C-alpha cells in the first residue's frame, strides 16, 4: 500500500485529493500536509494523520517522510496565476525552491513525486488550438515561468537521479466543494456560485475567450491514475496535457441558463486576467496522455453543470 504525503492539503485541489487518496489507499496511509495558518479542519483533520509541511523547510519534509515512511509525495504548494503576479519572489520561493527541497528529499528517500504544471506553462507563441504535448513554452507570467521550470526540474531529477517524477498540466479546475483563490480561470467557478445564490454574474473575462477547464472529479482521477500508471508505458513525464472541457464565458453562461433561465451575466473585463487568459491555449491536445496512461475524462459541460448546480 502506498504511503502518501499531500503537501498543500488544505488548498482547492489538495483537500479533495486528500479525500480521494484516503478513500483509495486508507486514511492512515495519507498524511495531510499543511502550513502554519492553514491547518486542516473538520473531516480533513479527523480522518487521518496530518503534519506541518512547509516546502521551504527541507528538514521538516524529510522528517515527515521518515516518520510516516512516505513513498509518494503530491506537491501542490504554489501560488495561482493572478496572485503570483503581485508576489513573484514568493511564487518562485514556494514553486521552485520548494520543489528543489522536495526533489532532494525524494532522491534520498526513494519517493515518487507529483508536482502539477498548468495551462499557464504556455505563452503567446504557443499554438493555441490543439496545443501539442511538446511545443513552444515561453510564458510571460511568473506563474508560467515557474511552471515550465517545475516541468524541467522534475524531468531533470528523473533523468539524472531516477526520481519517479510525473505530472499533468491542469486546466482551470472547477469544484463546488472548495473555492479556488487567485487564478485566471476562477471565473468558471464563481459563475456557478453566483447562479446558485441567484446573483447576477459580473464576468472578468471577455466574451469569446476560450480556455481549457476540467471538473474536479476528473482532475483528481488524472492525478491518481497517472501515479498508478505503468512506468514502462510513459514516454513523457513532466507534464502531460490533459484536456476535458474548453469553453468561453458565454458558453458556460448558456449551459447554466438552461437550468436557471433567470440567471444574468454582464462583462467587466479585468485587464490582468484577460491578458493572462489570452496567452493560454484555447484547447490542448491530450493524445499522449490518452495513449500512455489511458487518460479519459468523464464529464462534459452539461453533466458538470447539472452536478455543480
In the complex, minimum distance from the CB of residue 170 to ligand AKB, in angstroms, rounded to a whole number: 6
In the complex, minimum distance from the CB of residue 164 to ligand AKB, in angstroms, rounded to a whole number: 23
Residues that bind ligand AKB (CB under 6 A): 80-81, 118-120, 170, 172, 183-185
Q: Which residue has its beta carbon closest to ligand AKB?
A: 183
DSSP assignment of 87-148 equals -HHHHHIIIIIHHHHHHHHHHHHT-EEE--EEGGG--TTS-SEEE-SS------SHHHHHHH
> Taking Cα atoms as reference points, which of 149, 68, 73 lies closest to residue 106?
73
In the complex, minimum distance from the CB of residue 24 to ligand AKB, in angstroms, rounded to a whole number: 24
Give the β-pairing of 265-267 and 201-203.
parallel
CA distance 202 to 193: 12
In the complex, minimum distance from the CB of residue 51 to ligand AKB, in angstroms, rounded to a whole number: 26
- Are 142 and 100 spatial neighbours (Cβ–Cβ below 8 Å)? no
CA distance 106 to 263: 49
User: Cis bond leading into 77, ω under 30°?
Assistant: no
Query: Is residue 17 helix, strand or coil?
Result: helix
Torsion angles phi and psi, residue 279, rounded to 5 = -90, -5
CB closer to ligand AKB, 98 vs 120: 120
Q: Positive or negative CA dihedral for 204, 210, 212, 215?
A: positive
Place of cell 504556455: 122
CB closer to ligand AKB, 75 vs 81: 81
In the complex, minimum distance from the CB of residue 119 to ligand AKB, in angstroms, rounded to a whole number: 5
CA distance 180 to 174: 8
Is 34 catalytic? The answer is no
Given the residues 34, 143, 157, 299, the one annotated as active site: 143
Indicate which residues carry an active-site annotation: 143
Amino acid at each position: 500500500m502506498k504511503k502518501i504525503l499531500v503537501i498543500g492539503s488544505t488548498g482547492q485541489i489538495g483537500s479533495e485529493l486528500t479525500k480521494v487518496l484516503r478513500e483509495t489507499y486508507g486514511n492512515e496511509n495519507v498524511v495531510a500536509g499543511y502550513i502554519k495558518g492553514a491547518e486542516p479542519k473538520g473531516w480533513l483533520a479527523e480522518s487521518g494523520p496530518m503534519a506541518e509541511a512547509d516546502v521551504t523547510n527541507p528538514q521538516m519534509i524529510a522528517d515527515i517522510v521518515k516518520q510516516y515512511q512516505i513513498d509518494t509525495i503530491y506537491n501542490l504548494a504554489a501560488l495561482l496565476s493572478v496572485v503570483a503576479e503581485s508576489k513573484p519572489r514568493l511564487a518562485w520561493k514556494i514553486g521552485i525552491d520548494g520543489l528543489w527541497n522536495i526533489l532532494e528529499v525524494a532522491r534520498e528517500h526513494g519517493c515518487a513525486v507529483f508536482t502539477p504544471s498548468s495551462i499557464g506553462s504556455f505563452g503567446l507563441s504557443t499554438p493555441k488550438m490543439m496545443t501539442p504535448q511538446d511545443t513552444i513554452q515561453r510564458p510571460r507570467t511568473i506563474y508560467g515561468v515557474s511552471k515550465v521550470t517545475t516541468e524541467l526540474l522534475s524531468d531533470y531529477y528523473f533523468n539524472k537521479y531516477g526520481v519517479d517524477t510525473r505530472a499533468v498540466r491542469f486546466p482551470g479546475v472547477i469544484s463546488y466543494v472548495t473555492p479556488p483563490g487567485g487564478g485566471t480561470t476562477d471565473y468558471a467557478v464563481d459563475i456557478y456560485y453566483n447562479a446558485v445564490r441567484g446573483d447576477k454574474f459580473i464576468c472578468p473575462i471577455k466574451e469569446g475567450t476560450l480556455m481549457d477547464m476540467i471538473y474536479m472529479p476528473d482532475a483528481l482521477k488524472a492525478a491518481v491514475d497517472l501515479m498508478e500508471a505503468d512506468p514502462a508505458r510513459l514516454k513523457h513525464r513532466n507534464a502531460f496535457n490533459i484536456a476535458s472541457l474548453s469553453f468561453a464565458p458565454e458558453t458556460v453562461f448558456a449551459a447554466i441558463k438552461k437550468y436557471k433561465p433567470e440567471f444574468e451575466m454582464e462583462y467587466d473585463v479585468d485587464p490582468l486576467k484577460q491578458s493572462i487568459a489570452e496567452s493560454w491555449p484555447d484547447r490542448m491536445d491530450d493524445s499522449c496522455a490518452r495513449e500512455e496512461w489511458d487518460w479519459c475524462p468523464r464529464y462534459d459541460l452539461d453533466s458538470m453543470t447539472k452536478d455543480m448546480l
